[in-house]
Amino acid sequence: MAETATTTVVKTDEPKLPFGKKERRLITDPLGDNNPITIQVLGICSALAVTTQVIPSVVISIAVIFVCAFSNVIISMLRNHIPKQVRMIVQLVVIATLVTVVEFVLKAFSYDVYKQLSVFIGLIITNCIIMGRLEAFAMANNPWRSFLDGIGNGLGYGAILVAVAILREFFGKGAIAGMQIIGPNADYLINTSESWLFGWYAPNNLFVFPPAAMFIIAVMIWIQRTYRPNLVDIS
């Protein structure tokens, strides 16, 4: 009688990156109750400068998400090898390197946008949000959590920037993302030169000036803290 040999195959699960409630909150919290602009009041300068149009705001937002996420990862990987005395210098070098990558990529693929944003791209290096996350989070957490934290804070920053840009471009120029929505030469929606109902409309150039961004952000902060009273004393 022939014996039948049986082979037991043990399946080993490949290691997976955890994504539970804590990891999910790293992304969702900066979009709401821990927003870097409306709650932490960081990155206000760029919100004033680049939000006159939607497209530049989207580009800057993507750049900040990239730099914030990957600088968090790099600093988290190096955190046990960085002397405390030079940690901020190392952080600035990492950020500057990633910003240079963004600058070269943008210059190669979208030169017009690069010319429009060249000064502000360089200022990402000194963005308080990025430096703050490196110091407060990446220096004390593993690369995966640091990556999620960078993505979350970049998204929270970008969401406010794009929202402010939409309001400023629409009310200031009657356009969104360069497309004329309403006005005497509107390509889309409402042409006021042919409309008896909206013939009175004229773009409000006040929204183009930097103070308008401050007013819009102030209203956002007021609305958020009105509906979330627990955030009133947080700044």
- Is-above-0.75 flag for pTM? yes
Q: Read off the pLDDT band of 14 (50, 70, 90).
A: very low
Model confidence at 27: pLDDT above 50: yes
- Distance CA(164)–CA(208), nearest Å, equals 11
Distance set, CA 157 to CA 11, 44, 112, 118, 204 (Å): 43, 10, 23, 19, 26
- What's the CA angle centered on 32, arms 29 and 34, to 5 degrees? 55
Cβ(33)–Cβ(65) below 8 Å: no
Which residues constitute the domain of residue 138?
21-169+205-220
Q: Please report whether residue 180 resides in a domain.
A: no
pLDDT-derived band of residue 204, with 50, 70 and 90 as boundaries? confident
Let me know how long the chain is. Answer: 235
230 belongs to a structural domain: no
How does pLDDT run across 145-163, given as a tens digit for each residue?
Answer: 999 999 999 999 999 999 9
The count of structural domains within the chain is 1
Indicate whether 117 belongs to any domain: yes
Q: Which residue has the higher pLDDT, 18 or 166?
A: 166
Examine residue 28 and state whether it is found in any structural domain, yes or no.
yes
User: Using alpha carbons only, what angle is made at residue 222 by residues 216 and 225, rounded to the nearest 5 degrees?
Assistant: 140
146 and 137 Cβ atoms separated by less than 8 Å: yes
Residue 114 resides in a domain:
yes
Residue 71, in any domain of the structure: yes
Comparing CA positions, the residue from 100, 218, 119 lying closest to residue 164 is 218
Query: Range with the lowest mean pLDDT among 6-10, 97-101, 161-165, 177-181?
Result: 6-10
Q: For residue 192, is it within any domain?
A: no
191, β-bridge pairs: 183
Q: What does the alpha-carbon distance between residue 21 and residue 211 come to, in Å, rounded to a whole number? A: 39
Q: Is residue 183 part of a domain?
A: no
**pLDDT for res 74:** 96
Select the highest-mean-pLDDT range: 5-9, 17-21, 170-174: 170-174
